[in-house]
Amino acid sequence: MTTSGWTYYRQHVLFDHETESFWFHMPDTNDLTCIAGPYADRVLRGVEFIDGSWDYWNDLHPDSKYMKSESR
């Protein structure tokens, strides 16, 4: 998927080259809705995520584990 160059309600519209469909990110959701093409009116459900620092994540999930890379 790539930016189509179009906007819809002041947001970028995505274009899926494989299906030749246009997708719009619905406001206040994580979902994409097909607004034109063979998948018109279908919805791709988004995945919940947290956009934040490791410190923020670790405060919420103190039992989290991570991989440490070796120094070169």
At residue 13, the pLDDT reads 92
pLDDT of res. 6: 83
Tell me the backbone φ, ψ of residue 18, rounded to 5 degrees.
Answer: -65, -40
**pLDDT tier at 72 (50, 70, 90 boundaries)?**
low
24-49 pLDDT, tens digit per residue, is 988 888 899 999 999 999 999 988 77
In a domain, 68, yes or no: no
- The number of distinct structural domains making up the chain is 1
Evaluate whether residue 50 is within a structural domain: yes
Mean pLDDT for 52-71 is 88
Quick one: which of 7, 29, 45 has its CA closest to 15?
7
**Cβ contacts of 53 within 8 Å, gap of 6 or more:** none
pLDDT class of 18 with cuts at 50, 70, 90: very high
Q: With respect to residue 19, please indicate whether it lies within any of the assigned structural domains.
A: yes
In a domain, 69, yes or no: no
Domain that holds residue 7: 2-60
Q: Which residues of 28-44 are buried (b: 16+ CB within 10 A; e: fewer)?
A: eeeebbbbbeebeeeee
Strand partners, 22: 15, 36
